[in-house]
Amino acid sequence: MIVVMNHGADKKDVEAVVERLEKTGFQIHLSAGVERTIIGAIGDKTRIGDLALEAMPGVEKVVPILMPFKLASRNFQEQNTVIRVGNIEIGGDAIQVMAGPCAVESKEQLLEAALRVKEAGATILRGGAFKPRTSPYSFQGLEEKGLEMLAEAREATGLYIVTEVMDPRTLPLVAQYTDIIQIGTRNMQNFFLLKEVATAGKPVLLKRGLSATIEEWLMAAEYIISGGNSQVILCERGIRTFETYTRNSLDLTSVPILKHLSHLPVIVDPSHAIGKWRYVQPMARASIAAGADGLIIEVHPRPSEALCDGPQSLTPENFKILMDEVRQVSRLMNRKMDDVS
């Protein structure tokens, strides 16, 4: 449930309600808005009637949250969550674009990609150091050396970093280097990993599972938020359907649905959703038109030589065209695009 405090409720009123709820065994999450404070209470709803909360000073109303995801819901927090990474915001007025190679292959490859995507207007560099691959014989990533290269590219370009963590044992290492921790589609329901990521103190990019419903996806976000980390970015990356012509099916209906159900920012990954580079640009445009807060795009200096996901990777030249088109759509949607200063 949520307890909505009056506009004029003071700090003592809020503390009194929190104390009563905590004594009854509820887990408390505060959301201090511009006009009023909302207290989220997670626990045994059958005990709500005994608390007489609406009779307490400063309480406007008590509202049950019927959806299974509580803290991620728009009912709990009406205003959009805006996540700050350095000098940029994700979920605010500006569209943010994350771009770079699927995997870090070498220092030269990564730096060239970083310089080119920054030149085109990207603000965040993506690149995998630990790579979850379907085949055990495929390239698995450079691991810590890859993380070191990402940090060097950040130093050289000013781009922020997003990279994936696959295992709780490597979480401290990944968190040491990255600005945003990515949870990949295969780990969306790795609940132990989600609990650990909640304690890392970094924003989390949570990709949708291959066959996950929107509710299951938001429940995965709920694990992270309930663990103490409200900095969750939802990433639509396509779902598995009967269609075989594309790698996955890009479910852009999820963007407006999530915007209605949740306060969390939403970005789209058309590269993994489509799997073919020639269709990435039109779906990137469509993603922004649907209301996405950003994009994550695979870009490789020489896609034909990429160690993974070459067919879906854009060349720097095609990425520049994509960025020019996304800027035009952003203006139509009354959004802007930042550049890293």
Residue 10 pLDDT level (bands cut at 50, 70, 90)? confident
Number of Cβ within 10 Å of residue 133's Cβ equals 14
Q: Map out the domains of the chain with their CATH numbers.
A: 2-63 (3.30.70.1140), 83-337 (3.20.20.70)
Residue 341 pLDDT level (bands cut at 50, 70, 90)? very low
Query: What integer pLDDT is reported at residue 125 of this predicted model?
Result: 98
Cβ 143 vs Cβ 129: under 8 Å? yes
CB-based burial, 182-205: b 16+ in 10 Å, e otherwise: bbbbebbbbeebbebbbebebbbb
Instruction: Note the pLDDT tens digit of each residue in 122-157.
Output: 999 999 998 777 777 676 778 899 999 999 999 999
Residue 69 vs residues 117, 185, 202, 243, 261: alpha-carbon distances, Å: 36, 19, 21, 30, 10
Query: What integer pLDDT is reported at residue 338 of this predicted model?
Result: 66
For 57-93, give the DSSP string: TTEEEEE---SS--TTBTTT--SPP-EEETTEEESSS
Instruction: Note the pLDDT tens digit of each residue in 174-186.
Output: 999 999 999 999 9
